[in-house]
Amino acid sequence: MAIDKETVRKVARLARIAEPEQRLEPLARELSGILGWIEQLNEVDIEGVEPMTSAVDMKLKMREDVVQDGPTGGGQPEKIVANAPKTEDHFFVVPKVVE
């Protein structure tokens, strides 16, 4: 399938893309080349070929869901906020960012 300069101009106008006149012909050649590659891919016989992976049927490795306190947790909030510039009742105090 070949794309001509007029088709590129029309698609650019519909997509609200400003392309200078001197870029239309090179774009037409590039797009025609891309469509040529796609046509070649359509010629490949994939009958009976199983997909290598699938996002739907993939089994992920699972790990045990264990509650961990972390290195400074375990009911020790003063250790968690020890390096914070400002705290109040074991919470971080930050400046207001939304008016």
**Other beta carbons within 10 Å of 87:** 15
With respect to residue 10, please indicate whether it lies within any of the assigned structural domains: yes
Q: For the chain, what is the domain count?
A: 1
**Other beta carbons within 10 Å of 8:** 22
| DSSP designation for 31 | H
Residues in contact with 66: Cβ distance below 8 Å, sequence separation at least 6, in sequence order? none
* Residue pair 80/73 in contact by the 8 Å Cβ criterion: yes
Alpha helices (H) along the chain:
5-14, 21-42, 77-80
First-residue to last-residue Cα distance in the chain: 55
Provide the residue count of the chain: 99
With respect to residue 15, please indicate whether it lies within any of the assigned structural domains: yes
With respect to residue 12, please indicate whether it lies within any of the assigned structural domains: yes
With respect to residue 37, please indicate whether it lies within any of the assigned structural domains: yes
With respect to residue 77, please indicate whether it lies within any of the assigned structural domains: no
With respect to residue 35, please indicate whether it lies within any of the assigned structural domains: yes
Q: Give me the pLDDT at residue 52, please.
A: 72
With respect to residue 25, please indicate whether it lies within any of the assigned structural domains: yes
Range of the domain at 27: 5-42
The model's pLDDT over 71-81, given as tens digits with 9 standing for 90+, comes to 555 667 788 88
The model's pLDDT over 1-22, given as tens digits with 9 standing for 90+, comes to 789 999 999 999 999 999 999 9
With respect to residue 87, please indicate whether it lies within any of the assigned structural domains: no
The model's pLDDT over 48-68, given as tens digits with 9 standing for 90+, comes to 888 776 666 677 788 888 877
Q: pTM of the full predicted structure? A: 0.47
